[in-house]
Structure 1
Amino acid sequence: MPGERLTRQDRREIAAGLRDGQTYAAIARRLGRPTSTITREVMRNGGPADYHADRAHQAGKRVVRRRTTAKPAAPSPDGAGLAGRDPRTVENATAHITELFIQSGLQQMAARVLAALLTTDSGSLTSADLVRRLNVSPAAISKAVGLLEAMGIIHRRRDPRSRAERYVIGD
C-alpha cells in the first residue's frame, strides 16, 4: 500500500486514531504507511484538533498533482548522446533504473545522475551534459555528484582535450 493514495477508510482510521490520542507513528504502523505520510495528511487538513476524514478525502481528490519528468535533451556532439540507439528505449530504461535506485534508498537527483551515467554511450558526462540531459540546475547536479562521490560510486576525471571535469562511474 505505500505509494498509493490514502483511501477514505485510511482517513477514517487516521481520524479515529487522533480521537483516541494515538501518535502519528502508531497510526502509520496500523495503516502500513510512513509516519511522514500521516503527519502531512493531518497537517494539510486542519491539524490534529480539526481533522475530519470526509473533508480531507474530498480535499485529497481535488489536489491530485503529478510529478512530471523532464524530457532528456537531444544527444550532444561530444559523445554523451545515444548514438544509434532508440531514444525512447533509452529514456524508458533510464526511468526504470532511476526508480530502482530511488526504491533502494538513493536520493532522487543522485539516482537520476547515476542512471544518466549508466545509459550514456561515452561512459562519462560533464556537469553541463548532465544539466542539459536532466533539465535541472547546476546546483542540483553538484549536490548529487557530491553525494555519489562521497559514496564512492562515481569519480571525477579531467578531460585532457577540453580540460572539463567528466564524471565516471567508479570500478
Structure 2
Amino acid sequence: MTQQERERIASGLADKLSYGEISRRLDRPTSTITREITRNGGPNDYRPQQAHQATIQRARRGTPAPPHADTPPVATMEQEILEMAVRAGMPRTAARVHHDLALSEDGRRTAAELTHRLRVSPASVSVAVNFLVQQGFVRRERDPRRRRDIYVIDDDAWYNAIMTSERQTLQTARATMAVAETYGLDTPVGQRLAKTAAYLERVSLDIMESADRWRTLLA
C-alpha cells in the first residue's frame, strides 16, 4: 500500500466514511482496509505517515532470524507459521492470539489468560480479538457466572474466515459493477470496471462453493 493510499484512508476516516466505502474508493478489498486501520491505531488514531513507516519497519524485521541450534523443531515450525500469517496481512498480535487459541486444548481462552500468556496489554488483546472476530476466525462466548467473555476457535474457524472474506469481496465486486454502470458499459472505463467486477464475483462464488463442498473435512 502506498503513502498516497494511506493519506486517502485517513481522509476517509476523517469524513466518517465506512471501511467499505473507503475500500471502494481505493479499489481495494474491504479486508485489506480493515487490516490496515486495525494494525495502525484503529479509526480514531490512524496516522498515515506513521502507518507507512511502521509497515516499512515490519517488512525489515519480517524475515525471522535463523533458529538457534537448541530450538526445538516444533517451536521453529510454530514460529514459521506465525510469520507466514503476519506476511499474509494479519496483525502480529492478532496472529499470536489466533495461534495461541489454535494450540489450546479446548480452543478457548479468556482475555486475562491471553494477556498473561502472550505478555501483552489487555488493550492489545482486545484489538486483536476484535479483528479476529470481524474476520470470522474467532467467536465470543459469554460466561454468565463470571461476567466475562471467552474467546473460542473451533473447527469451523477457517470456513467462517473464508466466507467472511469472500462476502466482502462480493460487496466490492457489486460496488464496482455499479460504478461501471454509472460510467456506461459501452465506455472504456465502464468496460474495464465491469470485467473486474465479473472476475471478482465469479472467483468469490467459486471459492464459497468450494468452501461449502469441502466443509465436511472440518467435521
Question: Which bin holds the TM-score, normalised by the shorter protein?
Answer: 0.3 to 0.5
Which structure shows the bigger proportion of residues in helix conformation? Answer: 2
User: TM-score scaled by structure 1?
Assistant: 0.45
Which has the higher Rg, Structure 1 or Structure 2?
Answer: 1
